[in-house]
Structures are given as C-alpha cells and as structure tokens.
A and B are shown apart, each in its own frame.
Chain A
C-alpha cells in the first residue's frame, strides 16, 4: 500500500521544477498597476463576495479581469473568524469537543473524530474496537453527506439546478441516521474522548444497510445527470488544472490532490481508527482538472459505502468507552494527529501543559490550505470558471475562517 503511495508521489516529485515556482508563490494581487498597460481600460477589478451566491459562504475573492479573463485573484477571508483556537485555550478538553463540529459543519463527525483521536493519543489511550467501528461508520456516512452537499452546490454553481435537490433528498437519509443515533443532525458531537457516548440504537445496522441499498442506485442517478452530459464535460474538463507536483507544493490534500494523480489518503497511508481493517480503493484522477475531481469524489462515495458495508457486517461487541479519567488532564507534551476528512487532511496539534485545558490547540484546516491553490488554478481562465473552481475545491468557510 505504501509502496504504491511512494511510487506515485516520487513520480510527482520528479516532475516538480523551479519554473512554476514563482507562479505558486505569487498569491497577492497588485491592484494598482495594470498587467497590460496598453489595454488598461479593459482591466476590471471585481469583488466577488462576501455576499455572492457561488462563494459558499462569506468568501471574498477580489478578481482582476481583462474582459472576462482572470488576471489574478486574491482571497479575503476571516469574515467567519470565531477564534476557535483561542476558545480552546479557555475550555477543558471535554468542553471544547462540541466546538470542533462548528468548523466544517458539513462534516462535523470527521472533525469530532480527529479531535477525539488527537486527545486520546495525548492521553495514550485507545478507544475500544466497537467504538472504533461506530466511529468509522458514522464518519464514512458523513463523508458521503459532505460529498453530496458538495455535488449539489457544485452543480448549481455550474448551472445545473436539479442535482442539488436530488442530493439533498438522499442526504436526508444520512441525517436521519445521525439524528436517531445522537439526536443531532448537523453538528452531531457524536464522539467523546475515549470512545463513544452512545451505544447504537436498536435497528442501527438495519438502517445503515437500508441506506446502502437505497443509495447505490442514487449515485448512478447523479451520474446519469452529469457524467456524460456534454455541457458538464465542457464546463469541467481542463478547467482549474493543477499538477500533482504543484498540489503537493501548495499543501493541497484530499480529493483535489488525488485527482491530480497522487494516490495518497491518510486512511491508507497512516491508518487511524479501524481503517486498516477494511478493504477499499483510493480513487485517483489523471488530469487534475475539475472533471477528475468530480469523478474522484463520486468514486469516493462508492468506496465509503464499501467501508460502511464491511464495518456494519463486522461490528464487534464490547464496551464503547475506553479507560479515560473523569477529568481529562493529559501529561505535559504535544501531539499532532490528522485524519482524512472529506475535504483533505484535518490535523490537530495540541500542546498540553498538564492542566485540564489545552495550552495551545491548533487546527490544520484542509479547506484553508486548499483554498490557497485557487489563485494558481484560475489564472487565465474566465469568470465562469472561478465559481466552478471554488466549487470543486469544496471549501467550507466555517473551517477556512475558524
């Protein structure tokens, strides 16, 4: 598994060269000077956002346009900054747990998983197997829900209205399972440090299996709407291309990285929870364009279903809570733990001073880092492609701004 990883990425490394380095490093936009002085009357500076239908929240992108062609972009973020990291320093480890759900609110379960595992690592405890399995099932369901939300809004950005409603119809089934499990639909707070708070409800396995049989044809339905749709192909092929080397240099992770041909998924590369026990594939793309990212995510939904199927059929009996003290006081030290969230590598860096509150808690948000690649991806494209690329990076502003 890791041999494969290594092979692909070293190939990506070889193709890395210095020529495009300057392009990657250029992120700020010079609004004063015109790029083409003799045509400066054509240059237009447009504020896309913070209130804009296609920026998925309060992202503000300053676009410098030559007619419709994008000469440069600059992202202005922070409109949703709530100081999550500062809050963490003033809350106990347990109290902070629900806060992480509010970052990537489309994939709250993943956030909770990353945080709980990071603190467990700091405490040097391991959640019991049954808890691990429940975590995997819920996290993968959440991955599907997150990808559904992405697909609907991405298609809407490109002008296809209808898939949005189809994905929301099916996402509802996942949210119902969450609601039955822990009472919440979106910001679930499903996991606790050391395991899970709740045992699965009666009929959980049946519900999940029903969802799997219900959902399999639905993915095909989405695909019939889009995958071979001529306009969809024209709008997504060769749009927002990023090479594997560039993606690595820019720290891009998740489906965006995989679509560029780097076969790297933390669930395989550095397995956490119970992922090493399941059989699944990492879908990769070849061109690194918007269409490949679309295909990768569609396939990821199918692979998530495979994982869920295995996990549900093999879920072990036993305790759901590990041996964790009532008051969580990790020893002095620091830890970094990351998981493969639907959007990419979600990491938690925690510094403990031995007290009940984290001394420093840093979240490594995938959306924040991936958004940095927007500029490289859209330079030279048209305005319409900017919204397509924002959609395909799959950002959630709650996580970008924290």
Chain B
C-alpha cells in the first residue's frame, strides 16, 4: 500500500493519462470536497466582505465572527420544507438544479492545479471546458420553464440569451490564447489545459503580457464575459432580485435552491480557474524563469506556510480583541482554537517546505512541489473571487438590452480584432 501511494507521488502525469482509475476517482473526490469547501469559504467571505463594503458587520452570531454561519445556513437549507409548485413539471423541476451542478463540477476534470495535479489532461481540454460550462445554461432554462411561472420564465430566457451571446466573445478570446501556444519552439499549438500553462512556461511569459496589449485585451474580454457567463453582478439579470424577484429560481426553496447556489459558486470558481490557466500562468509561481535558482524556489515555497501563519495571526488578534465579557468566552475560545488550527497548518507547511527544499525526487520534495502549485493556483483564483464580490458591491445592474448590445456590438468585434491581430503578430514577430 505505501508503495502504491509512493508510486503515485513519483508520477509526473495526471491519473487520467496514467490510466489509473483509482487515483482518478480519489482526485475527483478530493476536487468535489475541495470545491465544496471553497464554496463554503466563498460564501462566508462574500458576506463578510460585502458587509464591510457596506459599513455593516455581516454575520457575527454563529461562531466567532460568523465563521460557522455557512454551516448553519447549509443545515437550515437542508431542513427546510421542500416546495414544488402544484402546476410545475415535477420531474424537470427536480432535475434542473442537478444539471447546473453537474455542468459546473464536470469542468473541474480538466482544470490543472499542477502539471500532474489534475484528473485528466485531455488534449481537447479547453474545448471540453467551453462545451460543458455552456451546458449550465440548460439547468437554468429548464428550471425557468418547469416552474410554470412568469418570473422564472423571463429570468431563464434572459439567462439563455445572455449566455449564448457571451459564449461567442469568450470563445474568441480563448482562441487567441490558444493561438499563442502555437508559438512554442516546437511550433505546434495545443488545446490541453496543462499544455497551455506549459506553453507559457516555455515562452517565459504569462499570456496576459504576451503581445501587449493583445493578450491583455483578450484577458479583459474573457474576464468580463465570465461575469456574464456566471450571472453575477453587474450582469445578474437572470436573477435580478429587484425586477424578477429571484429570476429563474423564484420557485425553488430549501435544498434545491442551495444546489443552484452551489452550482453558481462552483461555476464562478471554474471560470476563474480557466482565466488563471489561460492568461495568468496557471499553477506557476511568479517569475519562474527569472528567479529560478533553488534558493528562490525555497523562498517561494515558504509562502503557503507564511500565508497560513498570517491568517493564524489575524485570528489570534481577533480572539485577543474580543470583549472581555463572559458572553464572549466561548467565541473567544472558538476563535483561539481556529487560530491554533491555522497555526498548526502553517507549521506543517513550513516543515514540508524546509524538508523538501532539495530539488530531488524524494517524497517531501514532491509534496512541496504539489503544495506550491496548488497554493499559487488557488491564490490567483482567490483574487478573481474577490473581484466578483467587489463588482457586486460597486455596480448597479445592466439592463438586458444594454447587456446584449455590449456582448454583440462591443465585445465580439474587439475579440475578433484581437484574434486577427494576434494571428498576424504571431506570424510576423517571432
């Protein structure tokens, strides 16, 4: 058994490529659990960050600083009465949230958290991703139709039109990134997600900076389209609460509603991951080529531990600053325990970083590498997630026709132009 695990750790390809169904399954489970936890964290962070944007405190009661609030919410949603409208199409109504959830989670099979830290490295990865993620709209349309109610129907129609429109600009932006991979020394491009990151490594530049400003423009178009694609503010027309009460999920409640939320947040993380993979160097740490000495590797590998240490310190300060009243004793203890857990993780990460500092193939070194990859990837994705919250706090909502106008009349021509120019520059320059 240990040998089996070691054999995997020694492998440099994804389980899908290695044909190891067992490891693939383990990976799928890890990703499912990881994304679910990420959604829970995102839920808490969004509520807290939004609250602080809006001079509020946000959740403060359930657990210290509301840390347990997402769990309380999840519990509440699971225990809630499950209502299906009398006139709804029961089966379709039931199936709709699952479609959305399935589409959002399936995308993760091709997202590379590291050169071998992915379920599978498909050679058509990016195509697969585009195809599956646009299936998500099916869940929304179906839910709107099955509810047999006007608001969900309008929300669903808006959503489908919006997703289809933005898919086009998004696809063209993706193609211009794919085009850049063909500028490798080998001269062949790739659609594989891992291949795209490796192309950035080979060419020594994140694609966002490639052919400046072309790469940047493509990235911006993708970044806008992905907000529209996930129905988030300021493009949240499909669920615009002040117009359509709740849009396509007006009639949903309890667990089913929470599945929609889970799918929405999972999709947000998925599209952010794609943006990171295509333009921001995926799992790569900053300056892997410029600062490539083993000493630099070691310094950068300290970051995960230091991040956790920082979080532990923040939690510790929070515990220390709790009011001295006895009402807060349990909260204070809870926060201190949380801080201790974070500190322990930090310690563990630092130990691994130090133990694996020699760039060999020892288990510790493999572990350290894996942690580094995942850490930098998650950090980049987290920046996007914060942007999603920031948008929501800052901007009013677009109107439907304006959204379509931007999609077709602004984003599509620009992305086409970027694609053409990328092709031309790619032929002339290298």
Contacts and interface: CB of A to CB of B under 8 A. Distances in A.
A169 B400 CA distance: 31
A125 interface: no
A273 interface: no
B53 interface: yes
Nearest to A160: B396
A158 to B, nearest CB: 4
Contacts of A232: 396
Contacts, number: 83
Contact of A159 (B50, B158, B395): B395
Interface string B379-417: 000000000000011111111111000000000000000
Given A162-B54, A165-B56, A232-B396, A383 B402 contact: no
A358 B397 CA distance: 49
A35 B204 CA distance: 63
Nearest to B242: A54
Most buried by B among A159, A165, A229, A234: A159
Nearest to A232: B396
B400 A68 contact: yes
A156 B241 CA distance: 10
Contacts of A234: 398-399, 402
A156 B233 CA distance: 12
Given A229-B395, A229-B396, A387-B243, A166 B150 contact: no
A159 B245 contact: no
A387 B241 CA distance: 11
B337 to A, nearest CB: 32
Nearest to B236: A159
A52 B245 contact: yes
A156 B242 contact: yes
A52 B250 CA distance: 12
Interface string A136-154: 0000000000000000000
B254 to A, nearest CB: 20
Contact of A231 (B240, B392, B393, B397): B397
Contacts of B245: 52-53
Contacts of B56: 165
B9 to A, nearest CB: 47
B151 interface: yes
Contacts of A387: 242-243
A234 B234 CA distance: 13
Nearest to A51: B245
A382 B400 contact: yes
Contacts of B394: 160, 162, 225
Contacts of A225: 394
A366 B399 CA distance: 29
Contact of B393 (A52, A54, A162): A162
A136 to B, nearest CB: 31
Contacts of B150: 44, 46
A166 B394 CA distance: 12
A385 B395 contact: no
A157 interface: yes
Interface residues of A, number: 31
Interface in A44-94: 44, 46, 52-54, 68
A interface: dominant SS = helix
Nearest to A45: B150
A384 B54 contact: no
B49 to A, nearest CB: 12
B336 interface: no
B396 A155 contact: yes
B54 A158 contact: no
A232 B245 CA distance: 20
Nearest to A390: B242
B400 A158 contact: no
Nearest to B51: A165
A121 interface: no
A159 B234 contact: yes
Contacts of A216: none
Contacts of B233: 159
A362 interface: no
B interface: dominant SS = helix
B185 interface: no
Interface in B235-252: 236-237, 240-245
Contacts of B284: none
A46 B397 CA distance: 21
A235 interface: yes
Contact of B398 (A157, A235, A386): A235
A161 interface: yes
A256 B56 CA distance: 32
A46 B151 contact: yes
B55 interface: yes
A384 B241 contact: no
B154 interface: yes
A161 B54 contact: yes
Nearest to A385: B399
Contacts of B50: 161
A169 B55 CA distance: 8
Contacts of A156: 242
A159 B397 contact: yes
B396 A159 contact: yes
Contacts of B399: 234-235, 382, 384-385
B398 to A, nearest CB: 6
Contacts of A53: 241-242, 245
Interface in A349-402: 382-387
A169 B53 CA distance: 13
A221 to B, nearest CB: 11
B188 to A, nearest CB: 42
Nearest to A46: B150
B2 to A, nearest CB: 53
A44 B155 CA distance: 14
B393 A383 contact: no
A160 B240 CA distance: 11
Interface in B43-67: 50, 53-56
Contacts of A384: 237, 240, 243, 397, 399-400
A161 B233 CA distance: 10
Given A53-B241, A68-B154, A166-B55, A158 B401 contact: no
Nearest to B234: A231
Contacts of B237: 384
Interface string B8-36: 00000000000000000000000000000
B392 A161 contact: yes
Nearest to A157: B242
Contact of B396 (A44, A235, A385): A235
A54 B395 contact: no
Given A46-B150, A52-B245, A165 B398 contact: no
Given A162-B394, A226-B396, A384-B397, 8 more contacts: A54-B242, A159-B397, A160-B396, A165-B56, A231-B398, A384-B237, A384-B243, A387-B242
Interface of B: 50, 53-56, 150-151, 154, 158, 233-234, 236-237, 240-245, 392-402
Please name the 4 residue pairs, one residue from A and one from B, whose CB atoms are nearest each other, closest first.
A159-B397, A160-B396, A165-B54, A54-B242
Interface of A: 44, 46, 52-54, 68, 155-162, 164-166, 169, 225-226, 229, 231-232, 234-235, 382-387
21 contacts: A52-B245, A53-B242, A155-B396, A157-B242, A158-B396, A159-B233, A159-B236, A162-B393, A165-B54, A166-B55, A225-B394, A231-B234, A231-B395, A235-B398, A235-B399, A235-B402, A382-B399, A384-B240, A384-B399, A385-B399, A387-B242
